[in-house]
Copies of this chain bind each other. A is one copy, B any other.
Amino acid sequence: MAMQTEAKERLLGAAIDLVRRQGYNTTTVADICQEAKVTKGSFFHHFPTKDELAVRAIHRWHSFTEQFFAEAPYQQIQDPLQWIFGYLELRESLIHGELPNWTCFCGTLIQETYQSHPEFQEACAAAVLAHLEPIAANLKLAKQNHCPTADWDSESVAIFFQTALQGGFIMSKLVGSPEPAKESIYHLRAYIKSLFPSVDSPLSDQDSKHIP
């Protein structure tokens, strides 16, 4: 029983890794089994189809990222605006090494399956939007603290966080370097600062990281 659970987890992890490296449609059940070191018999014991595995992998990605961010040190920051900057600092720190290790499973999956697999779209949207909820909540609190009459919308700005991250991943894939993804977070941070013009940021030293 323990070994079966392990095989299932390995299949989910292998699917996530392979999609991040090469996309969904080109990834076969045989690829996933080979990567997970699991037999096809074991695959079909756990999942009726590749598509069903993918939906479970989205749920797995959702719970993995949820736990990862829930346990990160920036969660201890009490001030909502500094919490936001702490989140961005963590996101930036994740961008290093090989591209498949820090690009997004959901973003890569959905880029090619948004029309063919509405069940992927639904599960990926749920994962991404759940991730954005605390960002929107902290932006809203920070706005109440610093600029309650400003005309921007916290939820729309939170979505733009994910927009900048996803776009940075594509631009990094395009030029084969982590720089655009890092620069994207630099610009996102600068934009957030511009939304709080009355706040002196204690993070200005971080700007020197920016490579023009």
Contacts and interface: CB of A to CB of B under 8 A. Distances in A.
A159 B180 contact: yes
Contact of A160 (B99, B152, B187, B212): B187
A153 B212 contact: yes
A171 to B, nearest CB: 5
Nearest to A122: B176
A153 B210 CA distance: 9
Chain A interface size, under 10 / 10 to 19 / 20 to 34 / 35 or more: 35 or more
B160 A170 contact: no
Interface string A155-187: 111011011111110110111100010011011
A145 interface: no
26 contacts: A22-B25, A22-B112, A22-B113, A22-B115, A25-B26, A26-B26, A111-B111, A114-B176, A121-B173, A121-B174, A125-B176, A129-B175, A152-B190, A153-B210, A155-B212, A156-B183, A156-B212, A157-B187, A159-B171, A160-B183, A162-B167, A163-B171, A163-B180, A167-B170, A167-B184, A191-B194
Interface of A: 21-26, 99-100, 106-108, 110-116, 121, 124-125, 128-129, 151-153, 155-157, 159-160, 162-168, 170-171, 173-176, 180, 183-184, 186-187, 190-191, 194, 207, 210, 212
